Amino acid sequence: MAQFQAVKGAKDIFPDEIVRWHYIEGVIRSVTSLYGFSEIRTPAFEYTELFQRGIGSTTDIVGKEMFSFLPDPNGRSITLRPEMTAGVMRAFLQKNPGGGVPVHKLFYIADLFRKERPQAGRQRQFTQFGAELIGVANPAAVVEAVSLMMQVFDTLGLHGLRLRINSLGDLEDRMRYREELRSYLEPYRNDLDEASRERFEKNPMRILDSKNPAVQEIVAGAPKLLDCIKPEGRQEFEKVLGYLSDRQIAFEVDHLLVRGLDYYGHTAFEVVSPELGAQDAIGGGGRYDALSKELGSSAEIPAVGFAVGMERLIITMEKQGLFATLSPHGPQVFIVLQDAGLEDHAMRIADRLRRSGIMTETDLAGRSMKAQMREANRLLAGFALFVGQDEVASGSYTLRNLRTSEQVALELDAIPGVLHESSKP
Ligand code: AMP
C-alpha cells in the first residue's frame, strides 16, 4: 500500500472518470444557458459566522459538520464551505448593496466540505451543481428553478426520479407548527431515538424526516405543516403545484419534507433516486427569502434555489447505464518514430500539427516502433504518422488509419487537412 492515502471521505478522480464529469458539466452549462443562468464562483472558505447565521446554529451542518479553523491566533474563524447558497447570497449582497437589477440568475459547480461519516454517496469533500434565482417571489420563479433542475436530469436521460414537494410556510407558521408538533410528540418522547429526542428541544421539525422506522411510525400521525399555513402561503403553494402540472412535471406533496437548513421557507423540494441506498436524495432546494436579512440586508430579498450532488448523480447514471455511449477519445494522431535520432524532427512535426488544431501524441519514452504502435492503440489514437529517415529525405510521410489500416503517403502540409476531414462526424 502506498505510504499516503487520500484523506478519508475524499476521492481522486482519474481521466477515465473525468470524461463523465465533463459530459455532465457540458449538459449543465447548456441547459442553464437555455434558462439564462450565468456561472458564479465564490471562495472555498468564508467566515464561520456566515454559515452560523445563514444555515442556522441548530442544524446538523453547523452543529457538527463544519471544517473550521483559525487562520492565525488572533484571526476570525474560517470555515470550508459546507454549501453554496450562503456564500452566493453573501457575494450578491456584497456586490449589490442597493439591490441592483431585480432578477439575478446564477449557477455553480463547486466543491463542498462536510465532516460527515463517509459511506456510499456521502463524502467529506463532494461536489454540487446548483442554481440560485435571486430577487423575485413569484411562484413562477420557483417553477423555473424546479424545471431547470428536472431538465438537466431529463437531458442526461435519468428516469424513475421522484420529486417530493412541500410548503414550509413563513416563520410565524413554522413557530405555530413547532408547538403543535411538540404537543403531539410529547406522549411519545420516551419512544423516540436519541437523535430525535435531541431534536425535540432544538429543532422538532427535523424529527419528521427521521430515517428510523420506529420514529417514522410515530410521525405518520403527526399534524401536517400545510394545515398551519396562512391562506396566502397556501395559495402560493397551490400556484406552484398548478404550474408544475401544466408543465407535466410529476410531483408528490410530502408532508414530512422539511429540509435540513434553516433558511428555507414556503416551497421546499427534494428529488430522490431509486438507485441510491440510504442516502437517496440526489438534489433539493426551495425558497429562502429569510437568508438575505439574516446576512444583514435591510430588506428581505426573495430567492429560490436548488443543489444537486454530482457524485450521487454519477452513481445513479452509472446504475441506469447512461454512460455506455460515452467513449474516451484518444489523440487524432500518434507520431511513430523509426529511431530516437529523429526526435527533434518529430517534435517539430508535432508542434506544427498541434498549432493547426490536431491532437497529437509523440513518444516521450524512447520506445521501439512496436512499443510505440502498442501505445498508439492503447491511447485509442485515430492515426499513426510514421517518421523515418526515408520520410525525412523525401518529404513524404505515411499516415495510417488505425481503424481501417488504410495508408496514404502525404506531404506535411497536406496532413492537417486530411485529419480534420476524417474527424468530421
Ligand atoms: P443539501 O445541501 O444538504 O440539501 O444537499 C443537496 C444535495 O447534495 C444532496 O441531495 C446530495 O445529492 C448532495 N450531498 C449532500 N451532502 C453530501 C455528502 N456529504 N456527500 C455527497 N453528496 C452530498
Query: What CATH number has the domain bearing residue 21?
Result: 3.30.930.10
Judge if 103 and 234 occupy the same domain: yes
Residue numbers of the domain that contains 380: 333-422
What is the domain count for the chain?
Answer: 2
User: Quick check: is 183 in a domain?
Assistant: no
Domain boundary among 289, 319, 349: 319
Judge if 118 and 63 occupy the same domain: yes
Q: What is the pLDDT of residue 284?
A: 96
Q: Are 317 and 156 in contact (CB under 8 A)?
A: yes
Instruction: Check residue 64 and report its DSSP letter.
Output: I
Residues in the chain with pLDDT values less than 70: 99-100, 260
In short, whether 114's Cβ falls inside 6 Å of ligand 1 is yes
In short, whether 209's Cβ falls inside 6 Å of ligand 1 is no
In short, whether 309's Cβ falls inside 6 Å of ligand 1 is yes
Cα(410) to ligand 1 centroid in Å equals 55
Distance CA 401, CA 381 (A): 9
Ligand 1 test: best mutation among 65, 311, 314, 315, most atoms within 8 Å of CB? Answer: 311
User: Quick check: is 135 in a domain?
Assistant: yes
Q: What is the pLDDT of residue 99?
A: 66
Q: Residue with C-alpha cell 491566533?
A: 73
Ligand 1 test: best mutation among 55, 83, 263, 279, most atoms within 8 Å of CB? Answer: 279
Distance CA 408, CA 105 (A): 53
Distance CA 66, CA 83 (A): 10
Judge if 265 and 376 occupy the same domain: no
pTM of the predicted structure, to 2 decimals: 0.91
Burial of residue 74 (number of CB atoms within 10 Å: 0-12, 13-18, 19+): exposed
**Ligand 1, atom nearest to 85 Cα:** 2
Q: Give the closest residue (by CA) to ligand 1 atom 13.
A: 309
Domain boundary among 292, 319, 346: 319
Cα(283) to ligand 1 centroid in Å equals 7
In short, whether 283's Cβ falls inside 6 Å of ligand 1 is yes
In short, whether 84's Cβ falls inside 6 Å of ligand 1 is no
Q: What angle do CA 158, 114, 267 make, to 5 degrees?
A: 55
Q: Are 266 and 289 in contact (CB under 8 A)?
A: yes
User: Quick check: is 145 in a domain?
Assistant: yes
Cα(308) to ligand 1 centroid in Å equals 7
Judge if 313 and 345 occupy the same domain: no
Q: What is the pLDDT of residue 70?
A: 94
Domain boundary among 319, 342, 371: 319
In short, whether 81's Cβ falls inside 6 Å of ligand 1 is no
Q: What is the largest CA-CA distance in the chain?
A: 94
Task: Give whole-number Cα distances, 188 to 135, 277, 424, in Å.
Answer: 42, 28, 68
Buried b (16+ CB within 10 A) or exposed e, 83-120: bbbbbbbbbbbeeeeeeeeeebbbbbbbebbbebebee
Judge if 104 and 241 occupy the same domain: yes
Residues counted in the chain: 425
Cell numbers that stand for 242 in this block: 398548478
Read off the pLDDT of residues 196-231 as tens digits, 9 standing for 90 and up: 998 898 889 989 988 889 999 999 999 999 999 999
Q: Are 107 and 145 in contact (CB under 8 A)?
A: no
Judge if 150 and 293 occupy the same domain: yes
Ligand 1 test: best mutation among 51, 128, 149, 269, most atoms within 8 Å of CB? Answer: 128
Cα(342) to ligand 1 centroid in Å equals 54
In short, whether 264's Cβ falls inside 6 Å of ligand 1 is no
User: Quick check: is 30 in a domain?
Assistant: yes
DSSP string, 110-152: EEEE--PPPBTTB-SEEEEEEEEEES---HHHHHHHHHHHHHH
**Ligand 1, atom nearest to 114 Cα:** 19
Cell numbers that stand for 47 in this block: 467566515
Cα(115) to ligand 1 centroid in Å equals 12
User: Quick check: is 70 in a domain?
Assistant: yes
